Amino acid sequence: MGTLSTPAQRKIVLVTGASSGIGEATARHLAAAGHHVVLGARRVERLSGLVKELTEAGHSAEYAELDVTAPDSVRSFAEAALTRHGRVDVLVNNAGVMPLSPMAALHVEEWNQMIDVNLRGVLHGIAAVLPSMRERRSGHIINIASTAAHRVDATAAVYCATKYAVRALSEGLRQENTDVRVTVVSPGFTRSELSDRGGDPQAQGASRAATEAIGLPASAIAEAIGYAIAQPAGVDVNEIVVRPTVQN
Ligand code: NDP
């Protein structure tokens, strides 16, 4: 995709969880499209390398350390961007974790971690940008849910619960805000680091095997995010489900 021609089309886009997978691919895609990307995650060395690569390629990018489970961290992340650029046009609430396990295994800490990152993290992001977007009567909040927000599978009960919740709150947010666009992007199996951490080894192994067999490149999800952003202000793409053709 070529660089955008007019400054009005160049957006300030915040991406959470930009240190790997879908967030990283989204950063690359949007920066290449001419937007300014502000990247957040905990692994700052990854973000620093990505920003270096993007800026050396002539794109516009910056990064900051971000823990979406901490409201103050998310607030500072958004406020710093607002101070520097005068506005936040788009927030991509992408950070997420998926430690899969049967409920009977009682991985209560991991249940709480999924609620903290996948659900509270999204809410913290919304709280950090919604006031300025409402004031400007313009903005776009993109929440990354999942096909797991549409269908529940064994070992994914809590993960699915967080993603169903993200869809629900996105719909409420949309109804309440007639000037702010709200998009849910729901990926199916996508190659990333999502199955690499935590969970029950058997459940994580099955998820990894399925992803290796049929997973989409993360760039396919980035394209969907880019599509929603590229629509005119009055056009709100509310949900995009993107999955491998062979996924059942
Ligand atoms: P990755 O594990 O590759 O990326 C997850 C990102 O979230 C990382 O950048 C990680 O960064 C970040 N993250 C995790 N915890 C925190 C935190 N507390 N604060 C800030 N950032 C955090 O997986 P994906 O790219 O696949 O995941 C991206 C999103 O896509 C998630 O919401 C996931 O649920 C969703 N999704 C993925 C699918 C798939 O098949 N891959 C399918 C459907 C949905 P760091 O560790 O550096 O903080």
For residue 95 and ligand 1, the question of a CB distance below 6 A is answered with yes
Per annotation, catalytic residue among 63, 159, 164, 227: 159
Is residue 1 very low, low, confident or very high in pLDDT (cuts 50, 70, 90)?
very low
183 falls within a domain: yes
Total domains in the chain come to 1
Q: Are 163 and 111 in contact, with CB atoms under 8 Å apart?
A: no
State which ligand 1 atom lies nearest to the alpha carbon of 46.
47
**Could you read off the pLDDT of 200-247 as tens digits, one per residue?**
999 999 999 999 999 999 999 999 999 999 999 999 999 999 999 999
Confidence at residue 7, expressed as pLDDT on a 0 to 100 scale: 61
Q: Among candidates 93, 165, 144, 98, which has minimal Cα distance to 122? A: 93
Q: Which domain holds residue 36?
A: 7-232
Residue 23 has pLDDT above 90, yes or no: yes
For residue 99 and ligand 1, the question of a CB distance below 6 A is answered with no
Is residue 9 very low, low, confident or very high in pLDDT (cuts 50, 70, 90)?
confident
For residue 149 and ligand 1, the question of a CB distance below 6 A is answered with no
What one-character DSSP code corresponds to residue 42? S
Kindly report the protein residue whose alpha carbon is nearest to atom 12 of ligand 1.
17
State which ligand 1 atom lies nearest to the alpha carbon of 221.
30
Q: Among candidates 104, 95, 98, which has minimal Cα distance to 42? A: 95
90 falls within a domain: yes
Q: CATH code at 66?
A: 3.40.50.720
Q: Among candidates 12, 21, 111, 129, which has minimal Cα distance to 71? A: 129
Strand order in the sheet with 12-16: 60-65, 36-41, 12-16, 90-93, 139-144, 180-187, 239-242
Q: How many residues are listed for the chain in this entry?
A: 248
DSSP SS3 for 73: helix
Residue 5 has pLDDT above 60, yes or no: no
For residue 143 and ligand 1, the question of a CB distance below 6 A is answered with no
83 falls within a domain: yes
Confidence at residue 58, expressed as pLDDT on a 0 to 100 scale: 98
Residue 3 has pLDDT above 60, yes or no: no
The Cα 180–Cα 126 span in angstroms is 11
120 falls within a domain: yes
Average pLDDT value for residue range 12-27 = 98
43 falls within a domain: yes
Active site residue 227: no
Residue 6 has pLDDT above 70, yes or no: no
For residue 20 and ligand 1, the question of a CB distance below 6 A is answered with yes
209 falls within a domain: yes
Residue 47 Cα to ligand 1 middle (Å): 14
Residue 184 CB contacts under 8 Å (≥ 6 apart), including other chains: 142, 143, 144, 145, 149, 166, 167, 170, 238, 239, 240
**Could you read off the pLDDT of 122-164 as tens digits, one per residue?**
999 999 999 999 999 999 999 999 999 999 999 999 999 999 9
pTM listed for this prediction = 0.97
